[in-house]
Amino acid sequence: MPPLLLYAVILFTVALVLYTTSVWSERLQRHLKTWHLVVFGLGVVADVAATWLTIEFVGAIVYTPHAIFGFTSLFLMALHFIWAVVVYAGDRKAGMSQFHRFSLFVWSVWMLSYITGFVSGLQRLN
């Protein structure tokens, strides 16, 4: 595996661990904490960096179903992070229940993107 692609795969997996940890910890604790935001933000940064490395490796943005799904999930993930910052900064209890539901939706979309990328990557190894 070329080094650039290997770094992207590692960063996608780091994003998976960070994003999953922050979403599920926040969900189980039912309270958004500072460390959730930090870990969440690092997950978004890792995903953006991995996406950039992948584009560099490929040489362009190629609009495959996985790529469209991936960009959609990255957009949702960034939107989710912005909403988390707004909810946290404003201490808005009213928006928190909707935030919990949206968190699981975005996490699910992102996981599907991760899994489809993993599967398509495995298919290319054969």
The CATH number that applies at residue 22 is: 1.20.120.1770
List, for residues 1-25, the tens digit of each pLDDT value.
Answer: 789 889 999 999 999 999 999 999 9
Span 68-78, pLDDT tens digits: 888 999 999 99
Task: Please give the residue range of the domain that contains residue 16.
Answer: 3-125
Dist. CA 50–CA 5, nearest whole Å: 9
Q: Band of the pLDDT at 126, cuts 50, 70, 90?
A: low
pTM of the model: 0.87
How many domains does the chain divide into? 1
- The whole-chain average pLDDT of the chain stands at 87
H/E/C letters for each residue in 52-89? Answer: HHHHHHHCCCCCCHHHHHHHHHHHHHHHHHHHHHHHHH
Rounded CA separation 27/5 (Å): 32
Q: Cα separation of 88 and 108, whole Å?
A: 22
